[in-house]
Amino acid sequence: MRTIRQLGHNAVLVEDEAGGQRVALGKGIGFSAKPGSELTPDAVEQWFSVTSPAELERVNAMVASLPLDMLVLATTITARANQMLTAKVSPSAVVPIADHLHLAIPRASGAREEHPLQWEVQQLYPEEYEVGRSALALVEESTGVRLPESEAVALALHIITATIEAEGVRTTIAVTRLISELLDLVSATAGREVREDTMATSRFVSHLRYLFLRLNRPEVATTSVSGVLAALIQEQPDAYQTALRLAYLIESRISLRVSEEEVAYLTIHVARLLGAS
């Protein structure tokens, strides 16, 4: 590996045997790095491939702003996620996970409140939640700090978001537009503008984002909710009718069937939105 230039005390940009560029991370490897010198692979703790100047700028900023041990740990968590999940996790997950851990670890002894999306993530994304729980074990093994269970949810959300992003910018834009349409539909049903700053709206939007991911992953098993749905139809008829309209709009836009299970979850969220002030 030939050194191109130093990026910081703990990072250097190198040229590999194939002529490509990679960023090598390792404690103190940047101190003695000189352009043209050979880099000893044994000193490297983590590699990042670089395919464009923009990506190099991103990695450079990441190296400068976050501790090396957090970057290495976040990379390990992302690699574990790719081993455990069918969907590919974007490398973009590394930076937000490292940043999250950098803030979460020092405050680990504080209050351990349940994450507001605990139920949704556990029920709708059990595999990603298990990745989050596995990440807690990796954090404890690496730092000696046991993060609260709520952090498993927070880390799972980073993984889910990175999975959605991996599908591309065009998909993200289409999803954003559709979510806006769905919120407009709920507002029309409620006869008032649905406030965007409420927890109910935040949960609804998060649910919709993950719903679109699930609809594109038919291998995800669904469970029977016939009894639950029957109860919801009786208890929340307005919310159920709105959920059916939402399902129809989703199906007409992306040509994928919305199951009874998804309609039940939509009904629960719509009921919360219709009840929010």
Q: What is the CATH number of the domain that holds 16?
A: 2.30.24.10
Buried-state track 129-147, b at ≥16 Cβ within 10 A, e below 16: bbbbebbbebbeebeeeeb
Q: Residues 71, 94: contact at Cβ < 8 Å?
A: yes
pLDDT at residue 178 is higher than 70: yes
Task: Write the CB contacts of 5 (distance below 8 Å, at least 6 apart in sequence).
Answer: 12, 13, 33, 35
Total of domains in the chain:
3
Residue with tokens 């219709």: 274
DSSP string, 31-46: TS--TTPBPPGGG-SE
pLDDT value at residue 139: 96
Among the residue ranges 33-42, 134-143, 240-249, the one predicted with the least confidence is 33-42
Residues 97 and 190 in one domain: no
Which of the residue ranges 170-179, 203-212, 242-251 has the most confident prediction, judged by mean pLDDT? 242-251
Last residue of a domain, one of 140, 165, 190: 165
pLDDT at residue 79 is higher than 50: yes
pLDDT at residue 172 is higher than 60: no
Q: What is the pLDDT of residues 111-125, one digit of tens each?
A: 566 777 787 678 667
pLDDT at residue 75 is higher than 80: yes
Instruction: Read off the pLDDT band of 151 (50, 70, 90).
Output: very high
pLDDT value at residue 277: 46
Residues 178 and 154 in one domain: no
Distance CA 28, CA 43 (A): 9
Last residue of a domain, one of 165, 185, 200: 165
Which pair of tokens denotes residue 194? 């649905």
Give the dihedral of Cα atoms 133, 135, 140, 143; nearest 10 deg. -160
Residues 110 and 53 in one domain: no
pLDDT at residue 72 is higher than 60: yes
Residues 149 and 215 in one domain: no
Distance CA 227, CA 238 (A): 18
Mean pLDDT over 227-248 rounds to: 85
pLDDT value at residue 212: 80
Q: Residues 200, 272: contact at Cβ < 8 Å?
A: yes
CA angle 175, 176, 179 (to 5 degrees): 85
Domain containing residue 249: 169-275
Residues 33 and 103 in one domain: no
pLDDT value at residue 51: 66
Residues 159 and 75 in one domain: yes
pLDDT at residue 191 is higher than 70: yes
Residues 264 and 173 in one domain: yes
Average pLDDT, the chain: 80
Bridge partners (DSSP) of residue 13 are: 5, 23
Residues 186 and 245 in one domain: yes
Mean pLDDT over 130-135 rounds to: 96
pLDDT at residue 219 is higher than 70: no
Distance CA 235, CA 242 (A): 14
pLDDT value at residue 58: 67
Stated pTM of the model: 0.59
pLDDT at residue 104 is higher than 80: yes
Residues 121 and 179 in one domain: no
Mean pLDDT over 75-81 rounds to: 92
Residues 59 and 101 in one domain: no
Alpha helices for 191-259 (secondary structure H): 199-215, 226-235, 237-254
191: left (phi over 0), alpha (psi -120 to 50) or beta: left
Total Cβ atoms within 10 A of residue 42: 6
pLDDT at residue 175 is higher than 60: yes
Instruction: Read off the pLDDT band of 215 (50, 70, 90).
Output: confident
Mean pLDDT over 58-86 rounds to: 84
Last residue of a domain, one of 45, 65, 85: 65
pLDDT value at residue 127: 87
Domain with residue 210: its CATH number is 1.10.1790.10
Residues 173 and 271 in one domain: yes
Residues 186 and 138 in one domain: no
Q: How many CA atoms lie within 13 A of 70 on its CB side?
A: 19
